[in-house]
Amino acid sequence: MIFLPRAMVHLPNRRQALALGLAAALPPIVARAAPLRVAAIDWGMLETLLALGIEPVAATELIQFRKIAVEPIVPRSVTDLGLRGTPNYELLRTVAPDLIVISNFYEYQRPMLERIAPVLAQAVYAPGVPPYPLAEAAALALGERLARLAEAKRYVDETSVEITRLRAALTAASGRPVFVISLGDSRHFRAFGRDSMFGDVLQRLGMKNAWIDETDYSAAAPVGLEALARVPDASILVVSPLPADVGRSLPANALWNALPAVREGRVAVLEPINHFGGLPSARRFARLATVALAGQAHG
Amino acid sequence: MADRAMTERAVTGHALPPIVLWGLSAGVAALLFTWRVGMQWPTAPGDGVDLDRIILFYSTLPRAAVAVLAGAVLGLSGLLLQRVLRNPLAEPSTLGISAGAQLAMTAASVYAPFLMERSQGPVAFAGGIAAVLLVLSLTWRRGLEPVSVVLAGMMVALTASSISAALILANGDYLFSLFIWGGGSLVQQDWGPAIALAVRLAVGAVAALLLLRPLTILGLDDASARSLGIARHSSRFLVIALAVWMATGVVAEVGVIGFVGLAAPALATLSGARTLRQRLLAAPLIGAILLWLTDGLAQLAAGTGGERIPTGAGTALLGGPVLLWLLPRLRMLEWPNLGTNSPSPRKAARPRLIILLLFLAVLFAAGVALLLGRGPTGWSVAGGDMLLDLAAWRAPRIGVAAAAGAMLAVAGVVIQRITGNPLASPEVLGVGTGAGAGLTAVLTLSAAAAPVWQFAGSVLGSLAVLIAMLAIGARAKFGAERLLLAGVAMSALCSAVTTAAIAMGNAQSYVLLRWLSGSTSQATGVDAWLMIACLVLLTLPLFLAARWLDILPLGENTARGLGLPVAKGRLTLIVLAAILTALAAMFVGPLSFVGLIAPHLARLVGFARARAHLASAVLIGALLMIVSDWLSRMAAFPYELPVGLFASLLGGPYLVHLLAKGVPRHG
């Protein structure tokens, strides 16, 4: 066992030092003014941290995050903690962060996490509540706690400015309601309602959400594609990734092909976006959706 | 013969002739369908687009067609399997065919998406046939004895669906996929699946008619079949392949729909279909009616925001109770009773030494799990301060796992001895899934129910199931097969409740999903001590009451004759078993199969007397669970996999291997 001498100075706690010695992958700790070392359990918090220029020491399900959430880019040096539902506490203990950020969704893990480091929980998604303001609050709270308040404020402003700008670009396309969905297989979709980030941003872009029914935790459970026929003049935005069999069977799906949106070319497939994200996801969605919808309006 | 006459009277003496009953059911299904069509009938021509017509033609009509066709396909497939295996429990789900097909499709979507894009059907077939071949080869040496086959099938099914769940968990937008996989959905948008299923049904029906003679003979015992000059094995495999091809077609087109394949042939027989020809007609018909009716009801329950009950779960909700109610009326005289020819069990030569060795093995496993682990830099053996630090995380998990394994083992011993059935266990009889149904009920009442209430719900759920099973068993004087069949039905029923709740996709769903997959991840030191304390408190009385456990399997009369308070004693034991099962399920989920495996292994080692049997089962259960928990954390580090998966992977094959070797079993 080799102890990093600086770590000994910086973190006199014997256990932490010991843990540091274990974690060979860690970057060397820079002396006194070192920022807090943060671990993120929640993906929305992870992307917000990265957007504020804070590089977490550890986060969950990174293989999947890089595929589904895509941006911001997660540096290779971030330790993967495993599944969000059952993160590897032993590994997290070894990484020994100074702060762990979670969302209300992972409250049940709090007792375990608090044995490792203080926990900061920010709620973004609650049934029936539009999440965008909560995501803004979460970014500011993270900024405050991690001494990046200025950056956080700037990021919140930038995001809102960008959405306003995109809204202006969309005025030509507005008028039609929009379904934002993800496909479960070639027969079922999940609709994003008003308490989802996509639904909230859609409204901020000046568009109307075509899904007005109830949702549970921001998205309705699998619904048959025929429900899309309820709003004939709607456009459809499909958030990737698409399930494997869709490429084969969706083009052959008679009902899908009969939908006005499909016949009239008002369907667009968006690149993957984190479904339960923070401001960076909101921004990514706003950007991708605007390109898609503006394209439809002109084409 | 007297028995047969009695059951026949029971059936024919029923208030409604079966044909009227089925006619009525079909009528209700048709009524539901007409109502739906009426609702969607295009009202005013020119009212916007002709979307109403499109929905009617491409969604409502094909959905009804798929319900009827899939039901018929499953009914026929189940009948063929039951016939050639001479096994009333055989069907696509109990033989692992559906789970195998599902696993193949899940694996293909993760690792070879191009396969799923082009050839979903063949992928599903490959998975189904692999599962059934595995089951048959495992039980070949036992002459494909019905209960062994089903036991192996359930093991294969359980393992396959655990691996599917682990794959989904580790690789994707898992919740959505799990919702859809959880229960087959009959939602349709064109005629493709209906046509595909119609083809399978037509081919299956024609082939079954052509195979009528071999099928008739295969239903007899091997000796008669041989003397009649049938190429037994090749025709058997031909029929099995046909049945698998049909069943996996349903999995590929609409997902897993349990129960119809089991219930339809049984109900056909109960409804008076005597000859094979009659059954070949009745089983698909009844399957079709069952699924059509279920789907009609599922659509009735659906709101605009999506289906509340997936049809695949609905079949179990509807069919489970029906089968439970009909079981005592089901005749199973065609199959040899497995209990008759088993010689008395081998006795362990030096029981104390073996128990001591087992105890040392548990200590050794716990020690390894405590010391050896993976970290960011690879494998390491902890020592000194690092050990102190890591022990705070590892010890509670080891403690909880050991206690949970031991509890399941005790529950298994108790249940096996009360029922006098070596294959009974908390998992097989649906006691574990019953805990899930109880938990679901509590969470439905209040999403934020305190852990104490959640636990109380689990205990009540498992207690209710256990009492129901024993009541059914006692009333009908069940043999091993029948109790197992009731267990399958009960298990399907309870997991349907949980599946339906999970499919709602709300806050409760996540709690239930976590509970289902089982994890010691949240275990604290307090949990570990509590679990160990409960284990000791609940198990010690059993050691003192070992005489009860020795006498109860001998039958009620014997027990009463020996001066045992039978009713009171049974009830106490049942309550104990239910509490133990619910406690264990809180950490390791309902489907570990340790409750089946541990008592069985203990018996196979040679412990027949209750006290030694209990002690060795406790140790084996603890050992199995410690090792599984450790493996679940190490196998995909830092990703932690469901602990139940490893428990069934570890114990299942060994148990099946022993069964295959024909080691004597004993009730």
**Residue B1 scores a pLDDT above 50:** no
- The burial of B241, by beta-carbon neighbours within 10 Å (0-12 exposed, 13-18 middle, 19 or more buried), is given as middle
Q: How far is B592 from chain A (nearest CA, A)?
A: 18
Compute CA A135 distance to the chain's CA centroid, rounded to the nearest angstrom.
Answer: 10
Q: Which residues contact A253 (CB under 8 A, 6 or more apart)?
A: A186, A187, A225, B189, B190
Distance from CA of A247 to the nearest CA of B (A): 6
Range B29-38 average pLDDT? 86
Tell me the pLDDT tens digit for each residue of B406-462.
Answer: 999 999 999 888 887 777 888 888 888 899 999 999 988 877 778 889 889 999 999
Question: What is the C-alpha separation between B581 and B574, in angstroms, rounded?
Answer: 11
Rounded to an integer, what distance in angstroms lies between the CA atom of residue B661 and that of residue B138? 9
Contact A254 B191 (CB under 8 A): yes
Do B531 and B586 contact (CB within 8 A), yes or no?
no
Q: Please state which of the ranges A30-34, B161-165, B173-177, B285-289 shows the lowest mean pLDDT.
A: A30-34
Question: What mean pLDDT comes out for the span B265-280?
Answer: 86
Residues of chain A positioned with their CB less than 8 A from the CB of B375: 22-23, 90-91, 94
- The stretches of B327-383 forming alpha helices (DSSP H) are 351-371
Range with top average pLDDT, A186-200, A284-298, B72-86: B72-86
Burial label for A233, CB within 10 Å (0-12, 13-18, 19+), is middle
Confidence of residue B43 (pLDDT cuts 50, 70, 90): low
Cα–Cα distances (Å) from A67 to A103, B172, B228, B575, in that order, read 21, 9, 61, 49
Angstrom distance (rounded) from CA B400 to CA B396: 6
Among residues B510, B142, B513, the alpha carbon closest in space to that of B336 is found at: B142
The Cα–Cα gap between B465 and B432 comes to 9
Over the stretch B85-115, which tens digit does the pLDDT of each residue have? Answer: 888 878 888 888 988 998 898 888 877 777 7
Residue range B333-356, pLDDT digits in tens:
444 444 433 444 566 678 889 999
For B48, the closest chain A residue by CA position comes to A232
pLDDT band with cut points at 50, 70 and 90 for residue B12:
very low
Q: How confident is the model at residue B255 (pLDDT cuts 50, 70, 90)?
A: confident
Match 């995109």 to its residue by tokens.
A166
Subunit contact A227:B304, Cβ cutoff 8 A: yes
Note the pLDDT of residue B587: 86
Q: Which amino acid is it at B576?
A: L
Instruction: Supply the pLDDT for residue A67.
Output: 85
* 3-class state of residue B95 by DSSP: coil
pLDDT band at B504; cut points 50, 70, 90: low
Q: Which two tokens stand for residue A135?
A: 């995501």
The 10s digit of each residue's pLDDT in B571-584 is 888 889 989 999 99
* Residue-level pLDDT at B44: 54
User: What's the average model confidence in pLDDT over B644-659?
Assistant: 74
Burial (CB < 10 A; 0-12, 13-18, 19+), residue B207, is middle
pLDDT of residue B173: 55
Lowest mean pLDDT among A42-56, B469-483, B513-527, B632-646: B469-483
First to last CA, chain A: 65
Amino acid at residue number B383: G
Q: Which residue of A has its CA nearest to B374?
A: A91
pLDDT at A20 over 60: no
What band does B127 get if pLDDT is binned at 50, 70 and 90? Answer: very high
Is the sign of the CA dihedral A131, A137, A141, A144 positive or negative? Answer: positive
| CA distance, residue B439 to nearest chain A CA (Å) | 17
Residue to test with chain A: of B109, B189, B643, most A Cβ within 10 A: B189
Bridge partners (DSSP) of residue A99 are A38
Inter-chain residue contact A247 with B117, CB threshold 8 Å: yes
Which residue of chain B comes nearest to A245, CA vs CA?
B117
* Domain range annotation of chain B: 15-326, 354-661
- Dist. CA B262–CA B286, nearest whole Å: 11
Instruction: Please indicate whether residue B394 or residue B330 has the higher confidence score (pLDDT).
Output: B394
Determine whether the interchain pair A182/B390 forms a contact, defined as Cβ–Cβ distance below 8 Å: no
Measure the CA–CA gap between A116 and A95, rounded to whole angstroms: 10
- In terms of Cα–Cα distance, which of A268, A259, A257 is closest to A295? A268
Contact B362, B619 (CB under 8 A): yes
For residue A116, give the chain B residue with the closest CA: B393
pLDDT value of position B4:
41
**The amino acid at A5:** P
Q: How far apart are CA B280 and CA B262, in angstroms?
A: 14
φ/ψ of A36, rounded to 5, equals: -60, 140
User: Going by CATH, does the domain composed of B15-326 fall within 1.10.3470.10?
Assistant: yes
Which H, E and C letters describe B522-568, residue by residue? CCCHHHHHHHHHHHHHHHHHHHHCHHHHHHHHHCHHHHHHCCCCHHH
Mean pLDDT for the stretch of residues B228-234: 64
Q: Which residues pair with A208 in a beta bridge?
A: A177
Q: How far is CA B371 from CA B70, B125, B357, B364, B377, in A?
A: 53, 44, 21, 10, 16
Is A32 buried (19+), middle (13-18) or exposed (0-12) by CB count in 10 A? exposed
Q: Which of A89, A108, A249 sits opposite B393 (nearest CB)?
A: A89
Q: Is B340 exposed, middle or buried (0-12, 13-18, 19+ CB in 10 A)?
A: exposed
pLDDT the model gives residue B10: 42
pLDDT over threshold 70, residue B2: no
Using H for helix, E for strand and C for coil, what is the string for chain A? CCCCHHHHHHCCCHHHHHHHHHCCCCCCCCCCCCCCCEEECCHHHHHHHHHCCCCCCEECCHHHHHHHCCCCCCCCCCEECCCCCCCCHHHHHHHCCCEEEEEHHHHHHHHHHHCCCCEEEECCCECCECCHHHHHHHHHHHHHHCCCHHHHHHHHHHHHHHHHHHHHHHCCCCCCEEEEEEECCCCEEEEECCCCHHHHHHHHCCCEECCCCCCECCECCCEEHHHHHHCCCCEEEEECCCCCCHHHHCCCCHHHHHCHHHHCCCEEEECCCCCCCCHHHHHHHHHHHHHHHHHHHHC
Check residue B641 and report its DSSP letter: P
Chain B hits for A15, Cβ within 8 Å: 385, 389
A201 close to B (CB below 8 A): no
Q: Kindly state the average pLDDT of the residues A206-234.
A: 79
Asked if residue B310 has pLDDT above 80, the reply is: no
B375: nearest CA partner in chain A: A91
Chain A contact probe: residue of B36, B120, B176 with most A CBs at under 10 A: B176
Q: How confident is the model at residue B126 (pLDDT cuts 50, 70, 90)?
A: very high
* Nearest of A119, A97, A93, A92 to residue A108 by alpha carbon: A119
Distance, CA of B239 to chain centre: 24
For B33, the token pair is: 């369908």
Overall average pLDDT of the B290-317 stretch:
79
- From residue B562, alpha-carbon distances to B290, B541, B547, B635 in Å are 48, 20, 10, 51
- The mean pLDDT value of chain B amounts to 81
| Residue with the two structure tokens 């049809």 | B311
Q: How confident is the model at residue B659 (pLDDT cuts 50, 70, 90)?
A: low
**What residues in B contact A247, CB-CB < 8 Å?**
117
**What is the residue-averaged pLDDT of chain A?**
83
Taking only the tens place, the pLDDT of each residue in A266-297 is: 999 999 999 889 999 999 999 999 999 887 76
Residue A179: strand pairing partners: A236
Which residues of chain A have a CB within 8 Å of the CB of B55? 226, 229, 255
CATH: 3.20.20.70, 1.20.1050.10, 1.10.3470.10, 3.40.50.300. Which one for B354-661? 1.10.3470.10
Contact between chains at B173 and A275 (C-beta distance less than 8 A): yes
B179-230 pLDDT, tens per residue?
Answer: 555 567 788 888 888 999 999 999 999 998 888 887 887 776 666 655 655 5
Query: From CA B353, how far away is CA B498, in angstroms rounded?
Result: 44
Query: Regarding predicted confidence, which is higher, A18 or B119?
Result: B119
Q: Do A5-122 and A157-298 fold alike per CATH?
A: yes
Tell me how close the Cα of A156 comes to any Cα of chain B, in angstroms.
28
Strands (E) located in B285-424 = 372-375, 378-381
CA distance B602 to B341: 21
Q: How far is CA A47 from the centre of its chain?
A: 7
d(CA B509, CA B498): 9
**pLDDT category of residue A3 using cuts at 50, 70 and 90:** very low
Which pTM does this prediction carry?
A: 0.82
Nearest to A171 by CA among A207, A210, A209, A201: A207
Token couple for B167: 């794959």
Q: Does A81 touch chain B (CB under 8 A)?
A: yes
Checking if the pLDDT of B536 tops 50, the result is: yes
**CATH class belonging to A157-298:** alpha beta
Q: Which of A95, A221, A229 sits opposite B51 (nearest CB)?
A: A229
A221 and B305: CB-CB below 8 Å?
yes
Mean pLDDT confidence for A109-132 = 91
Lowest mean pLDDT among B44-48, B142-146, B161-165, B328-332: B44-48
pLDDT at residue B667 greater than cutoff 50: no
pLDDT at B180: 59
Measure in Å the smallest separation between the Cα of B651 and chain A Cα atoms: 24
> Quick one: pLDDT at residue B174?
53
- C-alpha span between B581 and A47 (Å, rounded): 41
- Each domain of chain A, given as residue ranges in start order, spans 5-122, 157-298
Distances (CA, A) of A280 to A131, A240, B158, B511, B631: 13, 17, 41, 28, 37
Contact B639 A220 (CB under 8 A): no
In the CATH hierarchy, which fold is given to the domain comprising A5-122?
A: Rossmann fold (3.40.50)
Both structure tokens of A233: 């003049």
Predicted pLDDT of residue B224: 62
What is the pLDDT confidence band of residue A118, given thresholds at 50, 70 and 90? very high
| Cα–Cα separations (whole angstroms), residue B98 to B129, B270, B280, B309, B548 | 10, 25, 22, 20, 41
Residues of A with Cβ-Cβ distance to B378 under 8 angstroms: none
Please give, rounded to a whole number of angstroms, the shortest distance from the CA of B524 to a CA of chain A: 8
Q: Which residues pair with A129 in a beta bridge?
A: A126
